[in-house]
Amino acid sequence: MKKNSLSVASFNLILYAAQQRGADYTTLCEKVGLTPEMLQDPDARLPIKKVQVLWKEAVEMTGDKHLALHLGESINTVAVGILAYVMMHCPTLDKALEKLCQYQDIVCDGSKTTVFIQNDLVYVTLTQISDEMLYPQYAFESELSIYHAAMEGMIGKDLPLKSVHFNYPAYSDSSEYQRVFQTQEVVFESNFTGIVFEKKYFHLPIINANPNLFPLFDKHAQSILEGLNQDNSFKEKVKKEILDGLKGEEPSLFNVSRSLGIGLRSLQMKLKEEGVTFQQLLDEIRKNLALQHLQESHLSTTDIAYLLGYSEPSVFFRSFKKWTGYTPNVYRKNPKMVA
């Protein structure tokens, strides 16, 4: 997959929302360095850097500092494309959110969506994974507003939110956030970014879902995702297998080579040609996941050690200190200390 990219279809949604608020389409395209012809193929990809320029210019041209926040109100969520169709034909909301997490990269691979339940509350969280996302607030606010609008559309009723969280400082008062998300509890400088609602809504049926259409759209989404991944380097393929194997145990070189249908020596040689070793990739993935998980307050350090495939928490502690110079607990208290 072309990393740090966004689908043209999603790019066009931002353009459309900006137009609705008075921005000139042609001028906006020129400022971003694109022509309308380049935006005709909805399955094409654009660099996230271009999207960041678009957000900045669109906000300036419309004078709407909350343009991203208003995206969910401005568009028909079906316009998101195949991902929306897959979700619309899932039987229940929880299954739709499961598919959102599975196929999010089709829309954008700059952030990661995670869904979990804690204390009878459902958390839908966002984590930035692209260094090229210079203005993450635009991505986060637009995604959360679209998610909320889409979920209400799918269940055919209001989905009351307990709270909305952002892991960055406020750049205005909370009133517009409270209006858009219909909740009084809007928390900035939180330890996560996401929306929270009661578990009783999690298994509600999707209205108008067609069980006969779901496998068709699901298969199509799978083929698109596989197509995006065809351009991956061998290193990226190995990383994917490592990620898939992190389920309470350490992914072994043998298991990864077997999954890829390649011999151990051949796997090691191919990685050497790309300038890395298997252990380096494993450490890189574990470090990145650890940094993310340590910002999720519901996970203990023991939980995180298990999720990263360590047999003992003490081994995870030693590894984390080797990577960052800090213990997990020290980092958790001040996550900005690690670049």
In a domain, 214, yes or no: no
- % of the chain exceeding 90 in pLDDT: 48
Residues 161 and 245 in one domain: no
Question: Which pLDDT score is estimated for 109?
Answer: 85
Give the chain's mean pLDDT. 88
Which residue, 181, 201, 221, sits at the end of a domain? Answer: 201
Which residue, 145, 178, 201, sits at the end of a domain? Answer: 201
Give SS3 for 212: coil
Q: How far apart are CA 297 and CA 281, in angstroms?
A: 26
Residues 161 and 265 in one domain: no
Residues 239 and 306 in one domain: yes
Q: How far apart are CA 123 and CA 165, in angstroms?
A: 10
Cβ-contact 175, 54 below 8 angstroms: no
Mean pLDDT of 207-233: 81
Q: How far apart are CA 194 and CA 187, in angstroms?
A: 10
Residues 171 and 80 in one domain: yes
Rounded to 10 deg, the angle between the 93-107 and 214-229 helix axes is 30
Q: For 108, which DSSP code?
A: B
Domain range enclosing 189: 5-201
In a domain, 72, yes or no: yes
Number of folded domains that form the chain = 2
Q: What is the CATH number of the domain that holds 134?
A: 3.90.1520.10
Question: Which pLDDT score is estimated for 240?
Answer: 79
Cβ-contact 70, 17 below 8 angstroms: yes
Query: Which residues, other chains included, contact 201 with Cβ-Cβ below 8 Å and sequence gap of 6+?
Result: 93, 122, 155, 159, 160
In a domain, 110, yes or no: yes
In a domain, 225, yes or no: no
Residues 196 and 245 in one domain: no
- Going by pLDDT thresholds of 50, 70 and 90, the confidence category of residue 1 is very low
The pLDDT of residue 269 is above 60: yes
In a domain, 69, yes or no: yes
Question: Which pLDDT score is estimated for 2?
Answer: 44
Q: What is the CATH number of the domain that holds 281?
A: 1.10.10.60
List the alpha helices (DSSP H) in the chain: 8-20, 25-32, 48-62, 71-74, 82-88, 93-107, 136-155, 175-181, 214-229, 234-245, 253-260, 264-273, 278-293, 301-307, 313-324, 328-333
Phi, psi dihedrals of residue 73, rounded to the nearest 5°: -85, -15
